[in-house]
Structure 1
């Protein structure tokens, strides 16, 4: 017990004014409304779960992480993060380094939720910088599918929130890519990735690609990626085909098909051979997409999954043939969240999958996600969000020179640019000749 108390004391020093915050919270509970009492009760439960991350028994830590995930999914835990950010991050990283596969998966999800909660800023940068190496190491060890998928999702989220430049994003994309295309060496043991891992990798990779400014993108890192994604369209697993289809649609939307499909021997450099190579890939992919949009149900095929695949590939086919992106609309608390590009749709679907049942709550109250999608919830939801964020954060969000507002402006400008390009038919597959 002495050692554990010492660990807690040491970790608590990472956070500022923990003791004073606890005292003021107690007095607030006695003097304020029932709403404050509920918040203090939630903070207490989170505090107990955080304490349990110091326990030696792995099952206790797993239960604590599951409780933390539930709390962070269902509510914006700004007050708790203000006091315990560093401790929570380092305890989750500890679980990632020493825990079972289940504990690593839970810790990965908790770190991703922590990043989405803190949003833009120094804390998000710290999460990315502190987590990249442990995630990379965990991906190389014990290749269990569910653990690996959770690590990939975590890496995508923390890069999305905490990355400041394209090089950081491409670094994370490269870590993901190595799972399916490892750099061979004398000490490298090649393990064939499962379909679950392939799906997770392609989805996470596409999510990060969707966040990059296409003018600064360096596709030479991903030469032959389009050939790989085309090969995935022939796989038996439907989730793999869907993920690959979305990745291909995004690459066509970006408009760098010839760069993404460059041949390994370097012949695709504007020469006739390279041009022929790209045209052949375009034709092959178009036929694959057309076939998948009309696929008949096979033995044991779930009707819902089959319909999802058909609908997706019908959208991709229309996009490739005439340049129209699917437009979607999701109701969030009475307001519509709309997407008009593949980039927006891929980001939305990835975040919906990661947040699960907490997606609506986060879209209603998470300022970071409001900026990403240019979404403004109804006034009552804004007031609810104001109630949960700190006075420091309020000043940061309201300042026209804040990091949040600058980043939000950059994101919205990029989205407007993509939308404008779509309207003039830039993405249509039959315009590819002009790019050569």
Structure 2
């Protein structure tokens, strides 16, 4: 089976429902903010609105803080608030963290989203790293009682975003992945009580975990952990909920794309000097991973052709079939799906599972603000490899007219973020071996 000639439409394409809901939420947030600030003026300066919303976060009444957070989110979705962030970065961060520590479930959820937007606005750098370090403990503490699905999903997605943007060391990324993993697959002890997670939460955690994994060099993680991850995600493929299956299938595809599964099998087959080891443990480990590979391939093949059952949502069934057809082609032939989507009048393309997972997660998190951020947020443009034509034309015009300056000032927040993010990616991805699942399938000499 060769690579498909016809690219399928991106399942993450922005539809009219997203746009309509965005407009509705924007107008609601603005009217809420005016009621918070006590003004009836129709035309209110955006900076003034944000200042008023920030002041409202000091109020004792929870509903007032919720309205203020909703207005802040709307402002960050509809325009990149660089000037406001330069002046009020630390204040906004700590007021949002206070809402996570003491607020209602709704307030916590809004605060999490605001922190994530703050991180995406500042881009990689010292401020993003500060957001991560200040947020990780309050988030991990709040996740210790995952009884509320809305709260838990918001906390996990916030942790994923601030880690993706702000982590500068492998250990920081692994720390966040472990927090999520403990939530999914807790190691029970005398002071740990297992909590049954809803399908919505499982889906969100798996997706967030995979999103962070896109920044990692898979070979830096130890083989024992990889075996645990792969085995667990394989069990999720058998769950009744299709959203859980889809998230797990994407996570497995990403793991196989890193080539880490080949590394694991090789480590279990050879000693550090490259010779074949003696003893049952190494041989058993190697045999186990080969059996696991075969099992997953059969699961994926079955899910790609599932007939569906009584009461099954056809949309979900089609999404599952399409996803696992892509995973199956990848496992058998090594081809990740080619995706193309329109942003404004420009095209964004992905050709790896890592790129697709980043795109889908960012689109989900930003919702109605996705298009605006992709058009104006240079950090996201670097992350997703997207250059709007208007930017290309601007650079070409400046170069042709002999101007020496960059399209934007090299001292701007955006360009600093771009440079720092690229340096971070080079560091985290150093010596990364990109492979695919087809390598070594059924080959005892892998």
What TM-score, normalized by structure 2, do the two folds share?
A: 0.79
Deviation at 1:292, TM superposition (A): 0.7
Match of 1:236 in 2: 240
Cα RMSD between the aligned structures? 3.0
Q: 1:184 to 1:413 in 2, by over 3 A?
A: closer
Q: Distance in 2 between matches of 1:197 and 1:250?
A: 20
Identify the structure with the greater helix proportion. 1
Deviates more, 1:270-279 or 1:169-178: 270-279
Match of 2:354 in 1: 343
Q: Distance in 1 between matches of 2:286 and 2:352?
A: 27
SS of residue matched to 1:140: coil
Match of 1:225 in 2: 229
Match of 1:326 in 2: 337
Deviation at 1:430, TM superposition (A): 4.3
Q: Distance in 2 between matches of 1:159 and 1:399?
A: 18
Q: 1:223 to 1:268 in 2, by over 3 A?
A: farther
Match of 1:162 in 2: 166
Matching residue within 65, 68, 87 for 1:64: 68
Q: Distance in 1 between matches of 2:439 and 2:232?
A: 22
Tell whether 2:310 aligns with 1:299.
yes
Q: 1:361 to 1:275 in 2, by over 3 A?
A: same
Q: Distance in 1 between matches of 2:160 and 2:208?
A: 6
Q: Distance in 2 between matches of 1:308 and 1:399?
A: 36
Deviation at 1:408, TM superposition (A): 2.1
Matching residue within 359, 370, 384 for 1:359: 370
Q: Distance in 2 between matches of 1:305 and 1:280?
A: 29
Match of 1:204 in 2: 208
Asked if the contact 1:173–1:208 (Cα under 8 Å) also holds between the matched residues in 2, the reply is yes
Cα deviation, 1:157-213, whole Å, max 9, x if unaligned, reads 000000001110000000001112223222222211111111111001101111112
Cα deviation, 1:330-355, whole Å, max 9, x if unaligned, reads 11222211111111111111111000
Match of 1:87 in 2: 91
Tell whether 2:106 aligns with 1:102.
yes
Match of 2:297 in 1: 286
Tell whether 2:134 aligns with 1:120.
no
Tell whether 2:419 aligns with 1:405.
yes
Instruction: Specify which structure has the bigger relative contact order, considering alpha-carbon pairs within 8 angstroms and separated by 6 or more residues.
Output: 2
Match of 2:27 in 1: none
Deviates more, 1:146-155 or 1:251-260: 251-260
Deviation at 1:274, TM superposition (A): 1.4
Q: 1:129 to 1:160 in 2, by over 3 A?
A: same
Match of 2:138 in 1: 134
Cα deviation, 1:257-284, whole Å, max 9, x if unaligned, reads 2666999xxx999822112211111111
Match of 1:394 in 2: 409
What TM-score, normalized by structure 1, do the two folds share?
A: 0.80
- Alignment size in residue pairs: 382
Q: Distance in 1 between matches of 2:102 and 2:445?
A: 50
Deviation at 1:416, TM superposition (A): 12
Q: Which runs of 5+ in 2 are unaligned?
A: 1-41, 269-277, 395-405
Q: Distance in 2 between matches of 1:62 and 1:221?
A: 40
Match of 2:436 in 1: 427
Asked if the contact 1:365–1:381 (Cα under 8 Å) also holds between the matched residues in 2, the reply is no
Asked if the contact 1:156–1:208 (Cα under 8 Å) also holds between the matched residues in 2, the reply is yes
Q: 1:218 to 1:76 in 2, by over 3 A?
A: farther
SS of residue matched to 1:331: strand
Deviation at 1:66, TM superposition (A): 1.1
Asked if the contact 1:199–1:243 (Cα under 8 Å) also holds between the matched residues in 2, the reply is yes
Cα deviation, 1:285-329, whole Å, max 9, x if unaligned, reads 111111111111322222222111110000000000111110111
SS of residue matched to 1:394: coil
